[in-house]
Amino acid sequence: MKVVRVHETGGPDKMVYEDSPAPSRNPDRAIVKIHAIGLNFIDVYFRMGLYKSPLPFIPGMEAAGVVDSVGKNVTSVKCGDRVAYAGSIGAYAEYASIDPTQLVPLPAGIDMKTAAAVMLQGITAHYLTHSTYPLRKGETVLLHAAAGGVGLLLIQLAKKIGVTVIGTVSTEEKSSIAKSAGADHIILYTQADFEQEVQKITAGKGVDAVYDSVGQETFDKSLNCLRPRGMMVLFGQSSGPVPPLNPSVLNAKGSLYITRPGISHYTATREELLWRAGDIFSWISDGSLKARVDRVYSLKEAAEAHRALETRQTAGKVLLQP
């Protein structure tokens, strides 16, 4: 089969499109023929070496496809089932061997590209808004990279609950895209001081929660945007990792809370995974949640896809197709 493999960490060119033996059979696993692969910022962290995987490795944490074969102990899925998964590395390939407890069956109306577009980022937006900081009607949040893959989905989930969303984006074009998804206020954080803008919008009260996936460039000012006892949800670092924090800063800035969540802890049981994926797929099916696929590349163009994501050219989801 064809795969994209990283032999040494570094820039996008370190990804090599090459031949590989198909995954070997395992009695406890299912082999999925991949139809669509979701690109996520975590793929960049692994490729760069910020997150560690033994070398060489096949990147990619998310895909949708059809079960091609199952091991003899697997009873939860069968050949021909349409499935999607998030959280198992090795998706930049034609086939992947997956623990069947990670496979979510796809409802009839959900096509492969949509499934690969919402599994990881949709579940992330779900746990961030429903569990990490369970949003309540009438609250106000600040969301960085609002036109990103997670961002556009998170806006829509927050609006469903009745929350005011202040989003930040880098360009006018991304501003219109985030507004179309429902954002109430958009700040161009590359041009304006987002801390001052948030204080203006909230009349000095601050927001109830900040969802910050940009990290290094936004973290300090984001803390200043919170109301007393507000919640800082740091869930990524697209601009670089945040340096160590002195906990007394949280006291000085208003008895703040901070958390650094990850998807695996919010899909720790099969029930939780199916609950979150089920909600996302049912909202896609009833039209109340829309996935924006920004661009689709072939698997062999993975380096180009990474470049587009890393250089902030994309708004919404990027997919690869084997």
Ligand X SMILES: NC(=O)c1ccc[n+]([C@@H]2O[C@H](COP(=O)([O-])OP(=O)(O)OC[C@H]3O[C@@H](n4cnc5c(N)ncnc54)[C@H](OP(=O)(O)O)[C@@H]3O)[C@@H](O)[C@H]2O)c1
Tokens, residue 271: 């029930």
**Which segment (71-79, 249-257, 298-306, 307-315) binds ligand X by CB under 6 A?**
307-315
User: Of 184, 220, 279, 310, which one interacts with ligand X (CB under 6 A)?
Assistant: 310
Please report how close the Cβ of residue 8 comes to ligand X at its closest, in angstroms.
22
Nearer to ligand X, 42 or 116 (CB): 42
Q: What DSSP character marks residue 57?
A: B
Helix, strand, coil percentages for the chain (3-state, nearest 5): 35, 25, 40
The sign of the CA dihedral 113, 116, 118, 121 is negative
For ligand X (CB under 6 A), the number of binding residues is 30
169: contact with ligand X by CB under 6 A: yes
**Which residues, in sequence order, are bridge partners of residue 259?**
233
Please report how close the Cβ of residue 275 comes to ligand X at its closest, in angstroms.
16
**What part of residues 110-149 is at the interface with ligand X (CB under 6 A)?**
120-121, 124, 145, 147-149
322: contact with ligand X by CB under 6 A: no
Measuring CA to CA, which residue among 100, 92, 156, 158 is closest to residue 129? 158
49: contact with ligand X by CB under 6 A: no
End-to-end CA distance of the chain: 10
DSSP per-residue letters across 98-151: E-GGG-EEPPTT--HHHHHHHHHHHHHHHHIIIIIS---TT-EEEESSTTSHHH
User: Of 56, 138, 228, 262, which one interacts with ligand X (CB under 6 A)?
Assistant: 262
User: Of 15, 29, 41, 181, which one interacts with ligand X (CB under 6 A)?
Assistant: 41
Under the rule (CB under 6 A), what is the footprint of ligand X?
Answer: 40-42, 120-121, 124, 145, 147-151, 169-170, 174, 213-214, 217, 235-239, 261-263, 309-310, 312, 314
